[in-house]
Each structure stands twice: as structure tokens, then as C-alpha cells.
Amino acid sequence: MVEPRWEHFPHDADMGVRGVGPTLAQAFEQAGVALTAVVTDPASVGPDVPVEIACASDDPEDLLFEWLNALIYEMATRRVLFGRFEVSIDGGRLRATAWGETVQPEKHQPAVEVKGATYTGLRVGRDQTGAWRAECVVDV
């Protein structure tokens, strides 16, 4: 059984985010953590502010694109960072709760601002071990 995890992968001036998990939902959760890790250490983000997020697409890759952009939108408009995610996916519908806290520059020391998810490197599927992988490049 694969342990859920997140990873980054380099891409020119941007950054690749990857979530890996035994389920599609857990891979999406880990992709959310990887997104936060572009900005700050996710472990430094408290779970003070819960935010409900929903998006839909019948295509898993488009669903990942929508999910990451929904997180980026909430981070920008609420001025929060998220450190924990709970995602459920039923058919093409994603429902999630993201927990985070208001950005505190002295605590979080944000490195960059993520502008949006891109279609570059956008992939969702199972790898050779059977683990789900959800990845794309984000514009920073």
C-alpha cells in the first residue's frame, strides 16, 4: 500500500506539483499540500480557517486543474494558506474542506505567489505500482 505523499518537480521558471496516494481523492489532497509547499512549509500552517470547495469535471485531469485553481483563488481572495485537506470525489464531482490560516509573513515566510495551475504536465492516473498520481505545473 502506498503512503500518501506530495512532491515537487522542476519545470523551467515554474514549479511542478504532484500528489500521490492509494486513492484518487488522497492524490488530490497531496497535490493540495504540494501547492502550499511551493509557498511555505505546510507544517507551519495552522488549521484555523475551514473552507469548503466544490468543483466538477468528468475528466480527472480537468478536475485536478479546477481543484488547484479553486485553492489558488481561495488563497488569494481570503489571504490564507492551507495545510490540510479532506477531499471526496464521486464521479466527476469533487467536494473538499481545506483548513488553513491567514498568511502571517513572519511565520510563513512566503517564498512566491502561485498565479495558477496550467495544462503543462497535467496528468492524472495510476502508476506502475497502482498508486494514483495527480500532477501539473503551476505558474509562480
**Tens-digit pLDDT profile for residues 108-133:** 999 899 999 999 999 999 999 999 99
- CATH code for the domain in which residue 94 is found: 3.55.10.10
Environment class of 130 (CB within 10 Å of its CB; exposed 0-12, middle 13-18, buried 19+): exposed
pTM: 0.94
Residue from 37, 106, 43 nearest 75 by CA: 37
Helices (H), 8-59: 24-39
| 11: in domain | no
Inside any domain, residue 44? yes
Dihedral sign computed on CA atoms, order 114, 116, 122, 127: positive
Residue 75 included in any domain:
yes
Task: Please report whether residue 79 resides in a domain.
Answer: yes
Q: Into how many domains does the chain fold?
A: 1
Low-confidence residues in the chain, pLDDT < 70? 11
pLDDT at residue number 83 = 96
Look at residue 65 in the predicted model and tell me its pLDDT: 98
Report CA Rg, the chain: 14
Whole-number pLDDT of residue 46: 96
Determine the pLDDT at residue 14: 85
pLDDT of residue 93: 98
The range of the structural domain enclosing residue 135 comes to: 23-139
Q: What does the alpha-carbon distance between residue 11 and residue 7 come to, in Å, rounded to a whole number? A: 13
pLDDT computed for residue 6 by the predictor: 85
Tell me, yes or no, whether 127 lies in a domain.
yes
User: What is the separation of C-alpha 46 from the centre of its chain, rounded to a whole number of angstroms?
Assistant: 16
Residue 5: per-residue pLDDT: 83
